[in-house]
Structure 1
Amino acid sequence: MFQKNTKGMRIAILFVAMALFVTTTSLVLIDGKKKNVSLDLNGKQVEVRTAAATVGEVLAANDVEVQKHDIVEPAADTPITADTDIKWQQAKKVTIDIDGKTQELWTTDRTVNDVLKTAEIEVTTHDEVEPALAAKVTDNQPITIAKAFPVTVKDGGKERTVWSTQTTVRQFLTDQNIRLSNLDKVEGDTKAKLTASNAVVNIARVEKVTDVVEESANFKVKRKTDMTMLKGKEKVVTEGKKGKVQKKFQITKKNGKIVSRELVGKTMVEEPTHKVVHVGAKAPKVEVAAAPAKAKSGGTSASSQVAVSRGSGSEPSGGKEFYANASAYTAYCTGCSGITATGINLRANPNMKLIAVDPRVIPLGSKVWVEGYGYAIAGDTGGAIKGNRIDLHMPTKEAAYNFGRRQVKIKVIN
């Protein structure tokens, strides 16, 4: 039995040895068929030995799923030879947005700049690209391009051209760091869109400044009635002298040019000296006619009777007519000198028809007609004679008392 067991073990060992020989021989034969292959898998370098027959089989053996837009070099059905170099670039999907218009494409380019060059999209220096041109492309990569266009800027009357990608006037002003004061004006709506065909920004620079100037102040001419001078004569008593006034103006400028000038304040620095002129109001002496003398007892001379040359006839048809409050006085009233403002001696001419007037209403020297009194001359003034008020000269106190006060019609003839 021992011999039988030994024989069986020998047979088993022999079978195992034969199996190992066959396996080893097969492995040697298989390894002898393998080839060295260099792989570039999306930039990753790999060295492999493979018995695969084609490029596609090698990639599949390395878990590479080749898609439609991927790049494989050499082609997937290319037979494998010794030291074959295989390159696989995986395509990525990108979306390009140019000023709101989009397009999709598949690319194996690695950077944004390469993608745009491949797509034949020209980018200028002033365009804005997001992400940056040097950025690497990822799958489903969005690329946004804002194309720059020239914008004409008219700022305060000065014109220049700049490049911009901003869509509204407000964004453009911010991007260009153009600052506006509270008074400055931008033409149109700042929210309006800028386009390449309508890219003009007009800015009016407005400022308000204060201007103080000193000017001469004219003097006034004051005319005063002078009863010692004949009517029609004038005399300068005080020469006039101009003063000085300081005026403050608020000036509004638009683009450096004055558009409005408003007086906001005035201060008198030096008062003017007014010119004073005396105006003569003395009437020329009135011609009188002497009445026949009446002999007095003892044969003494007679007194003279005085009257205006036109007498005391009926109411004239012409002249300036109005009503006045009339009173009466004599040359011998209390405080009276008997000499009128025009120089007539009433005591020497007690029967003369003469009235006291306000020269502002009836000029001195005028001939008048007074209801109930007749024709007379305006030859005197009085402190209480103001406005439409007259005082009639009477030869005696009795006549003055009899007249009293009344309203009468008066006509200024000349």
Structure 2
Amino acid sequence: MEYDTYAPVGYDRYAPVEHDTYTSVEHDTYAPAYELQPARLPRQHAGAAADTGGGVGAAGGRAEARRAARRREGAERPDALRRLVPQALVVAFLAGGTSAFVASDKAVKLSVDGVPRTMHTFADDVTELLEDEGVEVGAHDLVAPGPGAELASGDEVVVRYGRPVALTLDGQRRRVWTTARTVEGALRQFGVRAEGAYLSASRSLEIGRAGLTLDVRTERAVTFMADGRERTIRTNAATVGEALAEAGISLRGQDTTSAPPGSFPRDGQTITVMRIRGTREVREEPIAFDVVRTEDPSLFKGTEVVVRAGEQGSRWVTYFVRTVNGVRQQPRRIAEEIAREPVARWVKVGTKEKPTSVAGADGLDWDGLAHCESGGRPAAVDATGNYGGLYQFDTQTWQALGGSGRPQEASASEQTFRAKKLYVQRGASPWPHCGGRLRG
């Protein structure tokens, strides 16, 4: 899963920093050297001679004692001066060092993940302070002021550790980072509107350094069109089916929705409820028969003789007919059963070459007769429908002459051939109006 990098708003060194509320007593446990009492110089004692004698015997003895006392006093003065001068120098040195010490030492406040403490430090910048305190920061952690910023006494440095969050927001999953320590704070950082939303964790739940998994479904407006009515609800449901139940709409039988019931309902989405009713219909349908053709050399070419008539079969077909919101859909075939098998038609097909001449009729003007009877059209049929072809045969006469079917369905050469045969049998009488054309 990809990581989204969350970059929190930077802090101004002098801007106020919000912290979580803690009850703590801040006190300085570090006492710098310049606050110690200065060492006292050793007290100088003038040694006095102990008078161990009982009394002074003579004047010479008393004078000698006075001279000895003066000699001792003269000897002690240089020693006292020699001891005083170095100690004075040490005091002066300590006074200058204390001034430099005071200038480098800073009193700062360091807050690490909401835990504040006040300290004295000689660090020049934020980076050095964090190193001195053993505080390690990474790419997703927040440091304010930023690393490298100079420190001054009274400054406050804030460190907030980044925490990974596996966030599923309205069905979209992603991995993000936050420096907030609670779910509510993280939602504010992510800009997620939590009012009316479903949260898989409590808002007050603390987020550890290891992070957490959080599912958030914000409140959305969804419109349902069902049973001729429109209903709009606000919901944080995870599926269309859940939102449908919240709207008080139930599905029965084969009912469904325009959006899959398991899909995530989007804000502003309109979903249609489809009431489906299904019935079965059984219909009898015909089965066409086959035509079996066999060649017969005894029949002229173009002649077909039906040996056995064909018969249609039938089947029972079951259809499922569905209506959606009262509108009938295309029936769907779901089963069939043969009720009666079809019977094939058998037909003989002639292969014999047709004769083209008939003795006693070949020299006549058959084209003139055809033009008079039918206008020279082989498929012509008279107004009554009883006569057809070039020579206007009736069907009974045609078949008596060996023709099959109807005369207008035969070729022009076969019609002329059978007309010649008719002429040999009956002369020109079959054509009382046009028969004279045969002689020219």
Q: Quick check: which one's strand share is greater? A: 1
TM-score bracket, normalised by the shorter chain, equals 0.3 to 0.5
Q: Quick check: which one's helix share is greater? A: 2
TM-score, L = length of structure 2: 0.33
